[in-house]
Amino acid sequence: MKHSYLILAFLMLTSCMENAQGDGTNAPRMSGLDQYYPSPVTTSQKFACSNNKYVYFRVLSPTDARLSYMDRTYELTRRESANGALFAGKGAEFWNKGISAMLTVNGERASCNFIPRDRTETDPLFPEDS
């Protein structure tokens, strides 16, 4: 009988804690585009693509980004994606997950990989970050 009370007490406590975030709050869980954590990186990120060209990608806000590719700039908006981050706009689409990306510009596709920038020297390949 004592074990029944212990099990009942345990079940009541765990059901009360079900919505806890682990930080001591009972804030509702967020999903999808609501889960944006601002990055300290505000500069363009360079990717080398399979077509031997570079693409520069910069997140401006939780829903907006800018893509520079072959002397053109594209303003992109974040879209739903089952995996990774997808941004799309007129004539361009950029999807990435981790260091890999897929670029589509005017129907032409290229796979791309992130290239880290050495912060100790100026990289002439990066467009001005404004």
Q: Is the pLDDT of residue 130 over 60?
A: no
**Residue 8 within any structural domain of the chain:** no
Instruction: Write the pLDDT tens digit of every residue in 49-71.
Output: 999 999 999 998 889 999 999 99
What pTM does this model have? 0.61
**Residue 70 within any structural domain of the chain:** yes
**Residue 1 within any structural domain of the chain:** no
The single residue listed with the structure tokens 């609501």 is 34
Q: Look at residues 57, 53, 54, 118 and name the one whose alpha carbon lies nearest to residue 84.
A: 57
- Asked if 89 and 77 count as a contact pair (C-beta separation under 8 A), the reply is yes
Classify the C-alpha dihedral 31-33-37-41 as positive or negative.
positive
**Residue 124 within any structural domain of the chain:** no
Q: Which residues lie closer than 8 Å to 72 by C-beta, 6 or more apart?
A: none
Q: Is the pLDDT of residue 18 over 50?
A: no
The single residue listed with the structure tokens 């570079």 is 54
Comparison of pLDDT for 85 and 25, the residue scoring more: 85
The single residue listed with the structure tokens 């406590």 is 13
As for how many domains the chain has, the answer is: 1
Q: Look at residues 125, 114, 110 and name the one whose alpha carbon lies nearest to residue 52.
A: 110
Comparison of pLDDT for 18 and 78, the residue scoring more: 78
